[in-house]
Structure 1
Amino acid sequence: MNRKTFISAAMATLLALGAGASLAQDYPAKPVRIMVGATAGGGTDILARMLADKFRVSMKQSFVVENRPGAANTLAADATAKAPADGYTLLVATNTGQAIAPHLLKLAYDPLKDLQPIGMVVVVPHLLLVGADEKARSAGELIAEIKANPSRYAYASSGIGSTQHIAGESLNLTAGTKAVHVPYKGSSAAHTDLIGGQVQFMLDTTSSAMGQVKAGALRALAVTTPKRLDELPNVPTVRELGMPSLEITTWYGLYTTAGTPRDVVDKLGAELQRTLKLPDVQERLRALGGQSEDLTLQQFTEFGRSEFERFGKLVKAANIKAQ
């Protein structure tokens, strides 16, 4: 390479680097959409609006939440995957859409290739729940009752392909039980029937069930995290009970369109981590029973891929089909 060619190449590299730095420095220069694959008022929507409020103040730009419920949270993900790769379309996603639905539905996008991870928002554990009037006082007693009376026991979930559904089938696989799955349109309706005895147990998120547990309407027999919860110190973990395969949680992550410039992704990731450390945000996450996970971008990306593979195996093993 002669001297003139070398200088030209160096100048081109510097200009490209400068353009990238300028892009991150100027971002966001216009309103940003945050896509949510669920209806307003649910856990995903609450988290998205919390982030939108904080980003709006700190990044001095409008962040607008757009709800596109349906198809197991994949409609919002599809819109994000097909948006311009500029960081102006974000997605608050859960493992229902990112790791379970792709194994049940035929999608027009690849969640591992067409969506760019930004960072983990929060992990919400599940509780093994029974109604206050249920005979079983422990997970062991519940499993023994299911085996002794298989035709009597059914478990609830918030829908086919939900984490609650996967967790219930995992319990069947782990314990050798054959409880029947009864899907509902959301946790609230499921809780009503669980309290009334129409279904006998459920593995639901702390964010949905904690209020009913503390009110005494539902009884928690186990929690699906490696450590006990500070809010429920007397409830054992599934690992303590010898069922570590039931360590299934609902997690929420922030994504954008694949191909978005790395400096924009890094800026959003840094802002997400700063926001999650705010005392009022920490308090809100604790109220949901959520746990923060301080993962690097690479760790979160690898976590998403491992969850995709893990849930794919569970869907196959339980022979779960979309209906």
Structure 2
Amino acid sequence: MQRRHFTAALAASVAAPLVRAQAWPARPIRVLVGYPPGGFTDVTARLVCDKLQARLGQPVIVDNKPGANGIVAVDTLAKAAPDGQTFAVVIAAHAANTTLYKKLPYDPVKDLAPVSLIGLSPLVLAVNNEAPYRNARELVAYAKANPGKISYGSSGNGSAVHLSTELLKSLTGTHMVHIPYRGSAAALTDLLGGQIQLFGDAAQGLISPGKAGKVRLVGVASDKRLPALPDVPTFEEQGVTGFVASTWAGVLAPAGTPAPIVKRVADEIATIVRQDDVRARLEAMGTIPAGSGPADFGKFIADETAKWGKVIREAKVTLD
């Protein structure tokens, strides 16, 4: 008799997540974004969430929770119930934060579950039109001949642009001075005004000013040119070997979220980013669609954490 009760209880505990997954979603889903509206993370999240809402038959609500390089939103996710009702869209800073900060309010491996990589957005570097260098090769040559004369702006300490430019410095043996800003818009304004000489961003932020001739785009940190910027060569093409750096957007869930729900969301995202209209929109933003599964995204995050951890340690970048 006791054995029957034990077996029934065990079967119920195993079946419970499957039952919840089959009934899911029964109410609106919240997707946390750790950055303000209008930027790369928010635009990418809303593009996917609009399509996800139609496919799941429930509202999918983007909830912007900016702060601490995305940590505020991820901490909220880590503490959310693992019932498939809360997800988050994170970017490259999420992987960097593991090394940047001495202590995080969550465990990035134990408290979170990878769902899917939405896409990669290779970084683009821009210079002021009055700068004495017109391409990446000339930029590197000038930086070598004039150590400390180039100031580069980023959207903040520990941002993808900050760490990527530190990688560029390491690869080329140059010294450039970092000027952190509170967001990309302020940095771009100072580049236009000549207060800084170099600025990088996800392609989305530089396509328009580049095509309008307001800034000079000197290179793409990718292994091949972007469809949105076919005339801008990669750094690899210009002799800067190994300078491949992207920000990216991907979806996480709280650890313990039922595997069938995680897989369902990953499968839906893979389908969404392959739709012609979504692919065209992403590529117009300079983003390469991905749509990976949970296991592949988990490995990707681990690789990114190791890559940027090395850059952070070598450049001695720390945040409190």
Question: SS at 1:132's partner residue?
Answer: coil
Q: Provide the rounded CA distance (Å) in 2 between the counterparts of 1:68 and 1:83.
A: 14
SS at match of 1:198: coil
Residue 102 (1) aligns with residue 94 (2): no
**2:307: which partner in 1?**
310
The CA distance in 2 between the partners of 1:18 and 1:81, in whole Å, is: 24
User: Could you list the per-position Cα deviations for residues 114-166 of structure 1 after superposition, in whole angstroms to 9, with x for gaps in the alignment?
Assistant: 11111011110111211122111221211111222224211110100000000
Asked if the contact 1:24/1:267 (under 8 Å) is kept, the reply is: no
SS in 2 for 1:152: coil
Once the two structures are superposed, what CA deviation does each residue of 1:231-259 show, in whole Å capped at 9, x if it has no partner? 33332222233434321100000111011
For residues 18-55 of structure 1, what are the alpha-carbon distances to aligned partners after superposition, in whole Å with 9 as ceiling and x for unaligned? 44332222111112111010111212111222222222
- Whole-Å Cα distance in 1 between the matches of residues 54 and 148 of structure 2? 55
One-letter code of the match for 1:144?
Answer: A
Whole-Å Cα distance in 1 between the matches of residues 272 and 99 of structure 2? 33
CA distance in 2 between partners of 1:82 and 1:146 (Å)? 46
* Cα 1:244/1:81, change in 2 over 3 Å: farther
Picking from 234, 237, 242, the partner of 1:237 is 234
User: What is the rounded CA distance, in whole Å, between the counterparts of 1:294 and 1:57 in structure 2?
Assistant: 18
Q: Is the 8 A contact 1:168 1:202 kept in 2?
A: no
TM-score normalised over the length of structure 1:
0.92
Which position in structure 2 is the counterpart of 1:222?
219
Give 1:308's aligned amino acid. Answer: T
Residue 56 of structure 1 and its aligned partner are, at CA, apart by 1.9
Question: Separation in 1 of the partners of 2:264 and 2:13?
Answer: 18
Judge conservation of contact 1:90–1:254 (CA < 8 Å) in 2. yes
The residue that corresponds to 2:129 in the other structure is 132
Map 1:174-185 to 2 at 5 A: 174-185=171-182
Secondary structure class of the residue paired with 1:225: coil
- Distance across 1 between alignment mates of 2:85 and 2:21: 12
Question: Structure 2: how far apart are the matches of 1:322 and 1:16?
Answer: 43
Quote the Cα distance in structure 2 between the aligned partners of 1:36 and 1:236: 32
**Gaps spanning 5+ residues in structure 2: where?**
none
Match of 1:192 in 2: 189
Q: 1:36 touches 1:76 (CA, 8 Å); kept in 2?
A: yes
Report the aligned-residue RMSD.
Answer: 2.1
Alignment partner of 2:69: what SS? coil
SS in 2 for 1:125: strand
Letter of the aligned partner of 1:130 in structure 2? Answer: V
Look up the SS of the partner of 1:308 in the other structure.
helix
Give the % identical residues. Answer: 37
* 8 Å contact from structure 2 (residues 228, 285) kept in 1: no
| Bigger mean CA deviation after superposition, 238-247 or 85-94 | 238-247
Query: Quick one: which amino acid aligns to residue 99 of structure 1?
Result: A
Q: 2:41 is matched with which residue?
A: 44
What aligned pairs does 1:24-43 form with structure 2 within 5 A after superposition? 24-43=21-40
1:100 to 1:8, Cα distance in 2 relative to 1, 3 A: closer
- Bigger mean CA offset, 57-66 vs 175-184: 57-66
Distance 1:69 1:59, change over 3 A: same
Unmatched segments (≥5 aa) in structure 1? none
Task: Check conservation: 1:112, 1:305, Cα contact below 8 A.
Answer: no
What amino acid is aligned across from residue 265 of structure 1 in structure 2?
Answer: V
Q: How does 1:77-156 map to 2 (within 5 A)?
A: 77-96=74-93, 98-105=94-101, 106-156=103-153
Task: Tell me the amino acid that sits aligned with residue 214 of structure 1.
Answer: K
Is structure 2 residue 157 aligned with structure 1 residue 160?
Answer: yes
- Once the two structures are superposed, residues 184-241 of structure 1 have per-residue CA deviations (whole angstroms, 9 ceiling, x without a partner) of 1111111111122211112221011111111111112211111112233332222233
The corresponding residue for 1:299 is: 296
User: Corresponding residue for 1:280?
Assistant: 277
Q: Alignment partner for residue 50 of structure 2, among 46, 49, 53? A: 53
